[in-house]
Chains A and B, each alone.
Chain A
Amino acid sequence: MIDAVRSEWIKLRTTRATVLFIGFAVAIPVIFSVLSAVLTKNPQDKSSRELFNNMVLGPCYFTGFFAGIVGALGIGQEYRHNTIRVTFTADPRRSRVLAAKLIVNTLFGLGIGLVALLLCLGVSSTILNSRHAHMSIYDPGVNLSAFIGQVVLCGLFTLAGFGLCSAIRQPAAAIPILLVWPLVVESILFGIINSATGSERATRFLPFREGFRIANSDTFDGSSGAFGRLGAGLYFGIFVAIIVAIGWVLTLRRDA
């Protein structure tokens, strides 16, 4: 298993796509964070929670999507270039290969999430300090929970991308699905369910929507939510696990 993980790590770090993705996944949120910290009017009048949401958590949703793409490409590039045949020839125990890919790519997804968040935190709090505003990851405590939630969300996004692309084998199809489903499909469903039932309760079961909420310090404020932050994470996690399981089973069964 260690050999398999080492092999996947080498593969991940030796493509240009990976380098590009680290760049985008980190640079884009930092740019938004800086813009937000510089352009926000009267930051000293705003709460630490609001500033944290706008300047650290919010921009890093980008990273989550990039992490999803990383996951999709982790398996999808192998299909795109037919290297999956080389890979499964070198190690015909497919579950071991998949597990290694999953570990390496998910750690990578978690990693870029953490780096992006820390950079956003560092850059924006420095700017805010110079503008005499106060923002802290510990104040209120929910900021830290949401911070951890955002890192976890990046990892889960990687897994979702990985599972989806294992199942459909085409990164060019998996990646658009990964973007359109949460951003478009679930938004439309949200509107429909919301206006049909007149309450937001039912929409809690939209998986990606619930996933996004674990990375926001405004949510789960005691009153709101069918699930707590942990429950929401678990719910989205189970949803992702099902996608991964489908992709996994198909990969074991199909001809490579």
Chain B
Amino acid sequence: MPTDASGSATTTSVRSMISAVGLSKHYGPTLAVDQLTFDVKPGHVTGFLGPNGSGKSTTMRLLLGLDRPSAGSSTFGGTPYHQLQHPLREVGALLDAAYVHPSRKARHHLWGLAASNGIAKKRVDEVLGLVGLSEVANHRVKTYSLGMKQRLGIAAALLGDPHTMILDEPGNGLDPEGIRWIRDFLAYLAKQGRTVFVSSHLLSEMALMADQLVVIGQGRLMEEGSVASIVDRYADKYVRVRSPQLEQLVALVIAKGATSTMTPDRAAQLRGVPVEAVGELAAANNIVLHELTNESGSLEEAFLNLTGVAQQYRTTAVPTAAGQATTPPPSSSSVPSVSPPSGSFPPPPPMQTGGRS
């Protein structure tokens, strides 16, 4: 089972802080997690972001002592998971909503879990109510939709009223309404001072759910910080402007050292100049403005910039997978349209509206 915590108690020994120190995991030749060190603090929803195959699930299994780390250690408030007396009362985990016996009724599934940690049966009905499954509690789980299973998984994680929650891609397979429900729920838990650690491969989803981020690519830590600061740093930001005297304005702005690109709808995207300066420049030169806004590129673009390493990995991986029968003729515009092989990032642009794979 898991290794001992080798004195990994970091500065603040908050009871519910998750702490990983130098966590690594090899599966044969595959290095799934590579020297991962990060902290997850209470009172926030911390997103765990990385492309598919970047090691999120593996990291979560390592945290929970299910897989043994090849190196490093992890603790919950200074205690390794396997030393927690009643783990469910401290840490609630949802690894995969499908981890239920299909022919068991939801209520019985929770009974079995509750019993293992000395939790009263009436708590089972409470959590079923919390996630809105009371009416179907006596149905066999195989009759459940994926969304219902996710809710059941969250109910299971809530059984022991834990101060820490770990959820692996809880938004997977949910409709936008379901995702909103989860988002509100996690925010509510965090507001109560709990530690919430939730993974996703979609920055757009994370931007809605989380306020802190731990970003990984190919098992390595890439970024750690607030969502806002990370989006700020990596998002493509520009000033959008429309004007009947656009050419004149663009020339003036370029003279100031900015760059400009035209959009199909006859607007200019100006980079390297603050929006105020554009406005002042226009006023000073009596230029009429029809539009002047600060814009930023899509979150998914930011994410691609952020996980540049993983992207590199993808571009080398695609040609080898191109032998698949259904792949269209030689890649015209190399990457995006082809569904990438497992272990890489899903097709980028139309994500906003929820085009999960």
Name A residues whose Cβ lies closer than 8 Å to a Cβ of B. 3-4, 6-8, 10-11, 14-17, 77, 81-83, 85-94, 252, 255-256
30 residue pairs of the A-B complex, CB under 8 angstroms, read: A3-B116, A6-B115, A11-B112, A14-B105, A14-B108, A15-B103, A15-B104, A16-B103, A17-B103, A77-B101, A81-B100, A82-B96, A85-B95, A86-B113, A89-B64, A89-B65, A89-B93, A89-B95, A90-B87, A90-B117, A92-B1, A92-B2, A92-B64, A92-B65, A92-B82, A93-B82, A94-B1, A252-B1, A255-B61, A255-B68
Give Cα A82–Cα B111 distance, bound, in whole angstroms.
18
Other than A15-B101, A77-B101, A82-B96, give 20 A-B pairs with Cβ distance below 8 A.
Answer: A3-B115, A8-B112, A11-B112, A14-B104, A14-B109, A81-B98, A81-B102, A82-B99, A85-B96, A86-B113, A86-B156, A88-B65, A89-B64, A90-B88, A90-B117, A92-B2, A92-B64, A92-B81, A92-B84, A255-B67
Give Cα A86–Cα B159 distance, bound, in whole angstroms.
13
B319 on interface, CB distance cutoff 8 Å: no
B118 on interface, CB distance cutoff 8 Å: yes
B321 on interface, CB distance cutoff 8 Å: no
B66 on interface, CB distance cutoff 8 Å: yes
Q: Which of A6, A11, A14, A82 contacts B98 (CB 8 A)?
A: A82
Q: Which of A17, A85, A252 contacts B66 (CB 8 A)?
A: A85
Whether A83 contacts B101 by the Cβ 8 Å rule is yes
The B interface, classified by DSSP as helix, strand, loop or mixed, is loop
Contact (A90, B1) CB under 8 Å given A85-B99, A255-B67: no
Give Cα A82–Cα B103 distance, bound, in whole angstroms.
14
Contact (A7, B113) CB under 8 Å given A17-B103, A90-B87: yes
The A interface, classified by DSSP as helix, strand, loop or mixed, is helix
**Chain B neighbourhood of A87, CB < 8 A:** 116
Q: Which residue of A lies closest to B65 (CB)?
A: A92
Whether B99 contacts A90 by the Cβ 8 Å rule is no
Report the minimal beta-carbon distance from A165 to chain B, rounded to whole angstroms: 15
Report the minimal beta-carbon distance from A253 to chain B, rounded to whole angstroms: 8
Report the minimal beta-carbon distance from B133 to chain A, rounded to whole angstroms: 17
Q: Which residue of A lies closest to B82 (CB)?
A: A92
**Chain A neighbourhood of B117, CB < 8 A:** 3, 90-91
Whether B101 contacts A89 by the Cβ 8 Å rule is no
Give Cα A4–Cα B87 distance, bound, in whole angstroms.
13
Report the minimal beta-carbon distance from B228 to chain A, rounded to whole angstroms: 32
**Chain A neighbourhood of B96, CB < 8 A:** 82, 85
**Chain A neighbourhood of B113, CB < 8 A:** 7, 86, 90
**Chain B neighbourhood of A81, CB < 8 A:** 98-102
Report the minimal beta-carbon distance from B124 to chain A, rounded to whole angstroms: 11
Give Cα A109–Cα B135 distance, bound, in whole angstroms.
35
Q: Count A/B pairs, Cβ under 8 Å.
A: 87
**Most chain B C-beta atoms within 10 Å of own C-beta, residue among A11, A85, A86, A252:** A86
Whether A3 contacts B118 by the Cβ 8 Å rule is yes
**Chain A neighbourhood of B84, CB < 8 A:** 92
Give Cα A81–Cα B64 distance, bound, in whole angstroms.
19
Give Cα A174–Cα B218 distance, bound, in whole angstroms.
36
Whether A86 contacts B99 by the Cβ 8 Å rule is yes
Report the minimal beta-carbon distance from A105 to chain B, rounded to whole angstroms: 14
**Chain A neighbourhood of B82, CB < 8 A:** 92-93
Whether A10 contacts B103 by the Cβ 8 Å rule is no
Give Cα A52–Cα B146 distance, bound, in whole angstroms.
54
Give Cα A219–Cα B88 distance, bound, in whole angstroms.
52
Whether A89 contacts B66 by the Cβ 8 Å rule is yes
Report the minimal beta-carbon distance from B18 to chain A, rounded to whole angstroms: 14
**Chain B neighbourhood of A252, CB < 8 A:** 1
Interface of chain B residues 171 through 222 with chain A (CB within 8 A): none
**Chain A neighbourhood of B102, CB < 8 A:** 81
Give Cα A11–Cα B109 distance, bound, in whole angstroms.
7
Q: Which residue of B lies closest to A252 (CB)?
A: B1
Q: Which of B66, B100, B101 contacts A88 (CB 8 A)?
A: B66
Q: Which residue of B lies closest to A91 (CB)?
A: B116
**Chain B neighbourhood of A92, CB < 8 A:** 1-2, 64-65, 81-82, 84, 87
Interface of chain B residues 75 through 91 with chain A (CB within 8 A): 81-82, 84, 87-88
**Chain B neighbourhood of A14, CB < 8 A:** 104-105, 108-109, 111-112
Q: Which residue of B lies closest to A18 (CB)?
A: B103
Whether A10 contacts B1 by the Cβ 8 Å rule is no
Q: Which of B68, B87, B112 contacts A89 (CB 8 A)?
A: B87
Give Cα A256–Cα B67 distance, bound, in whole angstroms.
6
Report the minimal beta-carbon distance from B40 to chain A, rounded to whole angstroms: 17
Report the minimal beta-carbon distance from A169 to chain B, rounded to whole angstroms: 14
Q: Which residue of B lies closest to A86 (CB)?
A: B99
Report the minimal beta-carbon distance from A106 to chain B, rounded to whole angstroms: 18
Q: Which residue of A lies closest to B111 (CB)?
A: A10
